[in-house]
């Protein structure tokens, strides 16, 4: 029977990783996959994660199932980290999920269950997995203008105009911070304007927050999410712990559904438990337990925050170095956007041909849409990349 299957498209980023591995040049630079790397190219286990794992190993006396929605202490700890008490706890339904991707997938399933005709408005561009999961489960994705290819900032003439075409029963997907793939983010006034449009149209917002702590700081990166959640009657939030705790393979995420009142919360909570049961039953626990252990222990929490801050400042420094070097080489400020962008990524905003040229001629690996992982750089490779960008005529 399986001969009827069609070949599925390969994941472009994973294919790029393979090409990088096979490239014999020792000058090659990997700016592809979205994983944080330190100056030596390693993705270390964070100190607090190691300590939490040791504590869990010493004290855990059973591996019996948790609950269908995971350990409630994990939901509480994550809700506090993301929302910091801006809405009443009894209006928030939450479920642990396998990674942020699991949260995104369950959110889309919940949307489809609530309204079979819902459309999901997505930024153009967005994380490609948003589009492929929407298409896979049969929800229409409606792109809204987001990235301005001239300024490499947000196209804020286009975005609200496009969002105004959403209706009640539709969903507007927003990146809470550190937009992937562009690195361009809304400022506070622009977030206010988006909230206004959401209130006008009655569309339901969904926030994907996968990089809290990678942009301007833990609280700063959640500020827009908190403001939005406090202003709208209902909202979905898909949070990932993969990046800010560096626990990618542990598959640790949380889906939150915020309702207008506690009665609706109960319905949402039951729906999240049902969806977990249908898709994978009990969610993974180890990563969630690491996160809970860190967030509820003062010493571990402050050590985690300190290390996360080092990571954040390191990426910010690389952004500044790259923008400065490009300013020196080009004699212009046209690459200043690299220092303005936040998070792990920047969209260079060049053609697929130039991206290929950078790879073939210079051994620089970035995703085909010209997304660069800034954490793939270090002080030695910043000048190499800057020179390649200028030589390639970007």
Interface segment toward ligand PMP; rule CB under 6 A; list 73-81, 98-106, 150-158, 376-384? 98-106
In the complex with ligand PMP, the residue whose CB is nearer, 242 or 276, is 242
Burial of 73 (0-12, 13-18, 19+ CB in 10 A): middle
Q: Is residue 373 a contact residue for ligand PMP (CB under 6 A)? A: no
Q: Is residue 180 a contact residue for ligand PMP (CB under 6 A)? A: yes
DSSP state of 15: H
x/- contact string, 293-332, with ligand PMP (CB under 6 A)?
----------------------------------------
Question: Is beta strand 140-145 parallel, antiparallel or unpaired with respect to 364-365?
Answer: unpaired
Nearest alpha carbon to residue 47 among 367, 248, 301, 331: 301
Q: Which of 99, 314, 349, 376 binds ligand PMP (CB under 6 A)?
A: 99
* Residues between 131 and 170 that touch ligand PMP (CB under 6 A): none
CA 74 centroid distance within chain:
19
d(CA 142, CA 162): 9
Q: Is 210 a catalytic residue?
A: yes
Question: Is beta strand 171-175 parallel, antiparallel or unpaired with respect to 119-124?
Answer: parallel
Q: Is 191 a catalytic residue?
A: no
Minimum distance of ligand PMP from residue 251's CB (angstroms): 7
Q: Is 164 a catalytic residue?
A: no
User: Residues binding ligand PMP: what is the number (CB under 6 A)?
Assistant: 14
Q: Is 26 a catalytic residue?
A: no
d(CA 102, CA 105): 5
User: Which one of the listed residues 238, 243, 304, 323 is annotated catalytic?
Assistant: 243
Q: Which of 242, 292, 350, 381 binds ligand PMP (CB under 6 A)?
A: 242
Q: Which helix (H) or strand (E) holds 386?
A: helix 381-391
Interface segment toward ligand PMP; rule CB under 6 A; list 97-105, 152-160, 277-285, 361-369? 97-105
215's tokens? 């942009």
Q: What is the DSSP string of 200-218?
A: HH-PEEEEEE--TTSSS-H
In the complex with ligand PMP, the residue whose CB is nearer, 183 or 314, is 183
Is the separation of the CB atoms in 104 and 238 below 8 Å?
yes
In the complex with ligand PMP, the residue whose CB is nearer, 127 or 191, is 127
- DSSP SS3 for 87: coil
Q: Is residue 210 a contact residue for ligand PMP (CB under 6 A)? A: yes
Q: Which residues bind ligand PMP (CB under 6 A)?
A: 34, 99-101, 104, 127, 175, 180, 208, 210, 240, 242, 248, 253
């Amino acid at each position: 029977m399986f001969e009827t299957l069609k070949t599925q498209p390969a994941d472009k980023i994973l294919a790029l990783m393979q090409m990088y591995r096979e490239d014999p040049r020792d000058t090659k630079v990997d700016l592809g996959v979205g994983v944080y790397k330190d100056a030596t190219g390693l993705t270390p286990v964070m100190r607090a994660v190691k300590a939490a794992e040791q504590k869990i190993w010493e004290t855990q006396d059973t591996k019996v199932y948790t609950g269908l929605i995971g350990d409630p202490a994990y939901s509480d700890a994550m809700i506090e980290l993301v929302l910091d008490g801006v809405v009443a706890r009894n209006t928030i339904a939450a479920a642990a999920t396998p990674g942020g991707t699991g949260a995104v997938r369950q959110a889309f399933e919940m949307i489809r269950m609530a309204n079979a005709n819902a459309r999901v408005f997505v930024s153009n561009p967005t994380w490609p997995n948003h589009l492929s999961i929407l298409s896979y489960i049969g929800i229409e994705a409606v792109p809204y203008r987001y990235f301005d290819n001239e300024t490499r900032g947000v196209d804020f003439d286009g975005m609200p105009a496009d969002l105004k075409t959403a209706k009640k029963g539709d969903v507007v997907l927003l990146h809470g911070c550190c937009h992937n793939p562009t690195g361009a983010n809304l400022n506070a006034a622009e977030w206010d304007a988006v909230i206004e449009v959401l209130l006008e149209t009655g569309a339901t917002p969904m926030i994907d927050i996968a990089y809290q702590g990678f942009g301007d700081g833990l609280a700063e990166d959640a500020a827009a999410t908190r403001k939005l959640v406090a202003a709208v009657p209902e909202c979905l939030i898909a949070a990932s712990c993969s990046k800010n705790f560096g626990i990618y393979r542990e598959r640790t995420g949380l889906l939150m559904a915020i309702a207008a009142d506690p009665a609706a919360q109960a319905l949402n909570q039951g729906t999240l438990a049902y969806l977990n049961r249908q898709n994978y039953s009990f969610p993974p626990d180890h990563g969630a337990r690491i996160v809970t252990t860190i967030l509820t222990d003062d010493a571990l929490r402050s050590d985690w925050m300190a290390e996360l801050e080092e990571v954040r400042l390191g990426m910010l420094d690389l952004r500044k170095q790259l923008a400065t070097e490009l300013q020196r080489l080009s004699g212009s400020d046209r690459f200043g956007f690299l220092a303005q962008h936040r998070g792990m990524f920047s969209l260079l905003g060049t053609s697929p041909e130039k991206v290929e040229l950078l790879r073939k001629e210079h051994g620089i690996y970035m995703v085909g849409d010209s997304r660069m992982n800034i954490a793939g750089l270090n002080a030695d490779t910043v000048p190499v990349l800057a020179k390649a960008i200028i030589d390639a005529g970007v």
